[in-house]
Structure 1
Amino acid sequence: MQTQAPQRFIVSSTDAARLARLRTEMLAKDPDAKVVHELPIIDAIAVEVQDAGALRRLSFASGAQVQPDREITVPDLPAEPPGGPLELETSTNALGLPELWKKGITGKGVGIAVIDSGIAAHPDLSTHVIAFKDIEHHVDTPHDEFGHGTHVSSIAAGSGKASSGRYTGCAPDADLIGVRVMDARGHGNVSDVIAGIQWTVDNKDAFHIRVMNMSIGQPIDNYAADDPVVKAVEAAAAKGIVPCISAGNDGPGPMTVSSPGNAPSAITVGA
């Protein structure tokens, strides 16, 4: 008999005792089951099971909600960019940032959590990264096998030293907190992202995190109020963290914003 591949789900319930009972029963019925993430920020756990049917039956009996732990990715580049390349020194000038820098508004004292593929060693970033968390591998040394998180971090807070100031980020004196939730292909699971948001909220005061950037997304196939990652974004916003999230690269038509860019509290950016 062929063994089924394990499947991941997000199981949630606002009744903590009910969720605890379901966990106990699940582990008793499926010896290969395991809890992947604790997600109290959305009253949930992420689990990996062999018998998805048994999990659904247990959840139905307990009144808990079960959702597939879907894939979430770094957006693909648009097939046809709408215009020519916009260099970083052009965009910072277009935003009027040099005038703000002259007034001392440089992001100093503000922590930006970049929830992405990590942050690689780079002269423009090395003195800015004050903390790093790899959600999957639990490695605390900054790294990035995909490169997207490093790119985003440079836009947010690159010092510009490597280019003599030409390619300076928006907030060059801000601190960076790397939260790696994407693999070397730029892919991850929703529960990994929520675990990254959970860690960010838990460490908000330790690293003065005031902003979290998430240039990642998935197609919207659920109401925002029922979307686990949107719930986590809203919970982080309620704790005083400003969520800046990409709209995705599938525009400019209707219904092309990706999740969690549809979170009500997010500053959702299209480019």
Structure 2
Amino acid sequence: MQRVREQVQVPEQLHSGAGRVKSVTVAVLDTGIAYHPDLVGRLLAFSDFVEGRNFPYDDNGHGTHVCGIVCGSGELSGGRFRGMAPETKLVVGKVLDRQGEGSCDSMQEALEWVLRVKNRYGIRVLNISVGIGDLKERYKEQMLRKSLELLWDHNILVVCAAGNTGPEDGSISEMASSRKVLTVGCHDGRYCKNDPGRCETYSGRGRRYDVTR
């Protein structure tokens, strides 16, 4: 988390004294969320679209990691390793199983859930650090895009991962290809600059000349 804070240059004054920003609620669709001291008091709601369980859990770990980047308090590190916005609250939907695999149907159901509960929990941001490959059922990809764009139209900032099928032009994950989505690729920066397996070598990318004028 500290590496991410340094890369995006999060001002320290945002989390201290008079400079503290007002908290918002972020919805996270991923592998779930597990108990962690840095996330105590953050979770407002949880829904499981994989196994249908009624209690929060994460049998993979990726979702908890993402939640920590969003709003970990840094409790275990004396405040050093904390998230981007420690005052943020969470609404978490489990859409991926222990292997990090999921279905378009589960994702679609989760997106509809976020839309239903957005006013109840004050959701302002939706994070989906999930990429999908090429599907045989193209209409399901189109349905997901329409749902994401509907959330955007309802004043929710939708943030999607670019996916890991790059670095060729036009390799962005289908869910992240809409113009109503904030697409985020991977950049290791100075931390892995000499690593041949650094994420810039496989992060999804857009079409070089596909820009809106």
Q: Write out aligned runs for 1:182-193 (5 A).
A: 182-193=96-107
Which of 78, 101, 104 is matched with 2:20 structurally?
A: 104
**Structure 1 gap segments, 5+ residues each:** 1-87
Instruction: Give the whole-Å Cα distance in 2 for the aligned partners of 1:255 and 1:245.
Output: 15
Instruction: Give the whole-Å Cα distance in 1 for the aligned partners of 2:140 and 2:112.
Output: 18
Which of 150, 158, 165 is matched with 2:79 structurally?
A: 165
DSSP-derived class of the 2:121 partner: coil
> Given the superposition, is the C-alpha separation of residues 179 and 253 from structure 1 closer, same or farther in structure 2, using an over 3 Å criterion?
same
Q: Where is the helix percentage greater, Structure 1 or Structure 2?
A: 2
Q: Determine the structure 2 residue equivalent to 1:227.
A: 142
What's the TM-score, normalizing by structure 1? 0.63
Mapped contact 1:118–1:143 kept (Cα < 8 A): yes
Q: Determine the structure 2 residue equivalent to 1:119.
A: 33
Mapped contact 2:31–2:96 kept (Cα < 8 A): yes
Instruction: Give the whole-Å Cα distance in 2 for the aligned partners of 1:256 and 1:219.
Output: 9
Counterpart AA for 1:263 = S
Give deviations 1:112-158, integer Å, cap 9, x for gaps.
11001100111111211111011233323110001111111111111
Counterpart AA for 1:104 = R
Q: Determine the structure 2 residue equivalent to 1:214.
A: 128
Q: Write out aligned runs for 1:249-268 (5 A).
A: 249-268=164-183
Counterpart AA for 2:144 = V
Moved more, 199-208 or 133-142: 133-142
Mapped contact 1:218–1:260 kept (Cα < 8 A): yes
Residue 22 of structure 2 is aligned to residue 94 of structure 1? no
Greater Rg by CA: 1
Residue 158 of structure 2 is aligned to residue 243 of structure 1? yes
What's the TM-score, normalizing by structure 2? 0.79
**Structure 2 gap segments, 5+ residues each:** 187-213
DSSP-derived class of the 1:92 partner: helix
Q: Where is the strand percentage greater, Structure 1 or Structure 2?
A: 1
RMSD between aligned residues: 2.0
